[in-house]
Amino acid sequence: MATSVESSADVVDGFDTEDPRAVRRAIREGRHRGFTNGLARHHVQGNLVAVPAAHADDFEAYCRANSQALPILGRSAPGARDLPALGEDLDLARDTGGYMIFRDGAHVDTARDARGVWRDDLVSFVLGCSFSFEAILQAHGVRLRHLDEGDVSAMYVTNRDTVPAGPFAGKLVVSMRALRPADAIRATLVSARFPQFHGAPISLGLPSDLGIADLAESYGGHGLTRLEADELPVFWACGATGQIAVRHANLPFCITHHKAHMVVTDLRLPIESLP
């Protein structure tokens, strides 16, 4: 498995980090190689799952049956690398800056650019992502310590089954944020208003409720997992659920974004100011 993706924030050349078009261009040209959280914070970001056209309707049905984890923001035409409704100049094969390539259900490569392996029958789905609601939460005064510490939220594979559709099935993945009680309540109320970005939390307070034995053992080993004494773990349904499902489906071919390298769209978030 060749890995050419940088995972730490790394702005090589200056660009307007709040302009989604400038962010996409910087990623495309290799001037930004880090995560996309903290960038274009007033705009929606999304998960990418590109599947062969023969499986696209089943995958859409799977997303709709598990819409809290997989809210569909856009679906491309077969083979199309553009999705103008989400960004006029969007190139789905280049603009996340991080791709996971799967063959026969196995993760075979990680790349910064997917043009070399893109196929004419790929249908791309862009799915709502917690990076969007994190910006909304911050705008409502919720402290997100993992962002203060330059980290991402941790993810966990839970003991909850998703609703299967066609070959797609698997356990629900959640993202976790360490919040103080008042912020947990505020975050619950605010996020519930945004079903397109996973909506309200699905659990909180007790990792065992989701079959999580040890918070330190996050999915992929990423993210902030250590709670302060005055914090609760709060769990939201996560778009990474889609990666579990495409692995489970053993598709002959599939591309997803690589963790925390998201599709940055031109869709504006309903926020005015940010810290």
**Which chain residues interact with a copy of itself by CB under 8 A?**
180-182, 184-185, 188-189, 192, 200-206, 208-209, 229-230, 232
**Cβ distance to a copy of itself smaller for residue 129 or 210:** 210
CB-count exposure of residue 72 (10 Å: 0-12, 13-18, 19+): middle
- Residue 139 near residue 133 (C-beta atoms within 8 A): no
To the nearest whole angstrom, how small is the minimum distance from the Cβ of residue 177 to a copy of itself? Answer: 13
Alpha-helix runs per DSSP H in the chain: 20-28, 56-65, 130-139, 145-148, 181-191, 241-248
**Cβ distance to a copy of itself smaller for residue 31 or 186:** 186
Strand order across the 171-179 sheet = 154-161, 171-179, 232-237, 203-204
To the nearest whole angstrom, how small is the minimum distance from the Cβ of residue 197 to a copy of itself? Answer: 16
**Cβ distance to a copy of itself smaller for residue 202 or 254:** 202
Closest CA to 135 of 158, 153, 109: 153
How far, rounded to the nearest angstrom, does the alpha carbon of residue 6 sit from its chain's CA centroid?
Answer: 17
Cα 177-269-14 angle, rounded to 5 deg: 85
To the nearest whole angstrom, how small is the minimum distance from the Cβ of residue 203 to a copy of itself? Answer: 4
- Residue 68 near residue 195 (C-beta atoms within 8 A): yes
To the nearest whole angstrom, how small is the minimum distance from the Cβ of residue 63 to a copy of itself? Answer: 22
**Cβ distance to a copy of itself smaller for residue 11 or 182:** 182
How far, rounded to the nearest angstrom, does the alpha carbon of residue 179 sit from its chain's CA centroid?
Answer: 20
**Cβ distance to a copy of itself smaller for residue 205 or 270:** 205
**Cβ distance to a copy of itself smaller for residue 149 or 228:** 228
To the nearest whole angstrom, how small is the minimum distance from the Cβ of residue 6 to a copy of itself? Answer: 37
**Cβ distance to a copy of itself smaller for residue 232 or 262:** 232
| Phi then psi dihedrals of residue 14, to 5 deg | -70, 140
C-alpha span between 256 and 231 (Å, rounded): 32
Structure token pair of residue 193: 């208003």
To the nearest whole angstrom, how small is the minimum distance from the Cβ of residue 68 to a copy of itself? Answer: 12
In the block, residue with structure tokens 């994190």? 134
- Residue 50 near residue 99 (C-beta atoms within 8 A): no
To the nearest whole angstrom, how small is the minimum distance from the Cβ of residue 211 to a copy of itself? Answer: 12
